[in-house]
Chain A
Amino acid sequence: MNKDKNEQQKIRPHIITDEINGSSLLIIDDDDDLRNLLVRKFMKKGFNVDDAHDVSVAKQKLLNNKYDLIILDLMMVPESGYVLFQFLIDNPQLKWISLIVLSGSSDVNDKIKCLQLGADDYVTKPFQFEEVNARVCRILTRAKEFEQLAFYDPLTGVFNRRYLENQMMIEIQRLERIPANMCISVFDIDRFKLINDRFGHSVGDIILQGLTAEVKKQLRQSDLLARYGGEEFIIFMPNTNEEDATLILDRILKEIRQLPLAKVGNENITITFSAGVAQYETDMTIKEWVDRADQLLYLAKDKGRNRVINWTDSNL
């Protein structure tokens, strides 16, 4: 064993935390030997690893699967790795994926260009695997932290409006390729101001947390719950028609009515909500779609609250 070996053993391998363990990587490189090596090494580290030998295969895989990070070679045939940047930027589903360029080019212009195009890091070949792995772990950890800040509501832990609208955009684009029904429901706690006024905002917060926890239990894995404003929430239901969406909301409302969400002294606090259900129609914008559901929500309020109204039954 020579000196270099001893030096290398002093370096502590990067720890893969639970937060990023199982993250999915896509390795894009036209060198079979290099790809095989990276796949093997990253799998051993606990990642789910997929690979592509050219840009065209990578594009297909990116459209059909979900990845947390891409490792991209630049000098590939027939298409250069540069082609992939614009593809990622143009797609709302893909533009958030972290990307590390792993290239044989040490030209500073390539490095600058890649970082300007959206790469998170640039590593030159030849490389030491542990260095690449450390960079992957750092970027994934940071991305998870940002994701938490950028896409989640801190009080309830459900998704926020930004994430919801991004997902709605993705599904609308998918619908152009694969026609299907999808619905949203906007719902709002009835007389929430009175609860806050009578019991205080801390109790109001407990109710918001209890409500979202209970609604999440009632939803399917494909549904998405987001906080849209103060006490207003949206449930986004892909592959669901208006009738089924209404049934789901009716069932949730029935459960919520009976369930105490907070207790003050000896008093159990229960709530009701009003909801509007709207199915997506071709060429609707996200705003038009949400506005329609909102209109139905206010109709439900006008009709006495504590109910779910859909577009078909509303006579609007």
Chain B
Amino acid sequence: MSNNDGKNKVYVYIDEDLVDLIPGYMTNRKKDIEKILKALTKDDFEQIQLIGHSMKGNGSGYGFDQISEIGYFIEIAAKNKDKVAIEQQLGALEDYLNKVVVIYE
């Protein structure tokens, strides 16, 4: 569940029971960016596809629908070996991680 205030922040409402899992989850997505960048240098599209696939699967469960969406596009782009599209999605992910504000409820 997210809400963009139109400027810099994206507010996401998340179950307070997940409070201790969220920092690790965010860190892992940042690690995903590094892994994908590294895989891009080796044209390892299979690895990128797997990372995108996982991201697609886990994002919405936590409440980060946009991460699932980006994961989906990364998976498709990797399948098509489309480096430009992958880089675009990485930019979108980085931007989202910088803007997202989690509100526990």
Contact = CB atoms under 8 A, between A and B. Distances in A.
A40 B21 contact: yes
Contacts of A8: 1
B21 A126 contact: no
B6 interface: no
Contacts of A73: 57
Nearest to B65: A126
Contacts of A44: 17
A34 B54 contact: yes
Contacts of A31: 54, 57-58
Nearest to A30: B54
A1 interface: yes
Nearest to B69: A126
Interface string B36-55: 00000000000000100110
Given A126-B61, A127-B60, A37 B18 contact: yes
A75 interface: yes
A136 to B, nearest CB: 14
Residue among A4, A31, A32 with the highest chain B CB neighbour number at 10 A: A31
Given A31-B57, A31-B58, A126-B57, A2 B3 contact: yes
Residue among A5, A32, A38, A126 with the highest chain B CB neighbour number at 10 A: A126
A41 B58 CA distance: 13
Interface residues of B, number: 24
A125 B57 contact: yes
Identify whether the interface residues of A are mostly helix, strand, loop, or mixed: helix
Nearest to B1: A5
Contact of A37 (B56, B58, B65): B58
Nearest to A132: B61
A100 to B, nearest CB: 14
Contacts of A32: 28
Given A4-B1, A8-B1, A40 B17 contact: yes
Interface of B: 1, 3, 13, 15, 17-18, 21, 24-25, 28, 50, 53-54, 56-62, 65, 68, 72, 75
Interface of A: 1-2, 4-5, 8, 31-34, 36-38, 40-41, 44, 73, 75, 104, 125-129
